[in-house]
Amino acid sequence: MVDAAFRPGRDTAMPPMPQRNWALFLDLDGTLLDIATTPSAVVVPRDLISDLEAAAAALDGALAIVSGRDLHDIDQLLAPLHLPAAGEHGAIVRLPGGQHDEVAIKVPEDWIAALLRLQGTCPGVLVEPKAHNVVAHFRNASAHEATVRRVAFELTSREPDKFELLEAKMAVEIRPRAVTKARAVDCLMNVEPFVGRVPVFVGDDATDHDGFGAAMERGGIALDVAHAFAGRPNQVRAWLKRVAEVAAP
């Protein structure tokens, strides 16, 4: 049973003492990394790579990155690490052995083209096509937020049974309904070295709630950055050091 103190939504939640029997699932942007003006502008703190490597070793390899970014971006940011990971919110999962578990459905190309046209008509809008999903950022184009939302909503409403519109931080994303971060947790928890461990999912936004639910359904822990870490990725990074230190033999 999950300790109620660690359920997302509780302001009093505190990060628990790390345990060696955990399987740790970590979101990237807004969790390990501070949000930047554009996805390419994020800064990877100097010691994050070594801390991730040490925490993974302490957990016998049962540590995965679960991000809205694609696998290529994840690997570039965390090079030279090549961790088990889920990209595009779980659309593609890289298993510990290197194999990929990937969904077939993708956002239609003409939908992506319609959003890309906004970059020409709405200065500051940034559209980020991915293999399965597409994101439209308006962080630098607040005057065009309503237009971006309208176009994204109209596109998604064409096939609402297959696709959904997600809220992100100063952005909206269209993704297949079959794709969630719960899928990533389920895929990885069925293989070594994750199988049989207690899943702990750390995330910061609405797309992480599916991962929270999947972890708790397996008797694990959900840690919302807003509540467990005061909304500050630097506190998550400090806690990650404890994972390596406390969980180590």
Q: Is 204 a catalytic residue?
A: no
d(CA 96, CA 102): 14
DSSP for residue 21: T
Give pTM, 2 decimals. Answer: 0.85
- Tell me the domains of the chain and their CATH numbers: 16-103+179-247 (3.40.50.1000), 109-176 (3.90.1070.10)
Residue range 217-226: average pLDDT? 95
pLDDT-above-90 percentage for the chain? 84
Catalytic residue selected from 3, 11, 27, 29: 27
The residue among 230, 213, 197, 211 whose CA lies nearest residue 19 is 197
pLDDT at residue 168 in the model: 81
Dihedral of CA 78/168/225/195: which sign?
A: negative
d(CA 61, CA 247): 12
pLDDT at residue 247 in the model: 59
The residue among 238, 168, 220 whose CA lies nearest residue 8 is 220
d(CA 29, CA 59): 22
pLDDT tens string 104-118:
999 999 999 999 999
pLDDT tens string 146-187:
999 999 999 999 999 999 998 888 899 999 998 999 999 999
pLDDT tens string 35-77:
988 888 999 998 999 999 999 999 999 999 999 999 999 999 9
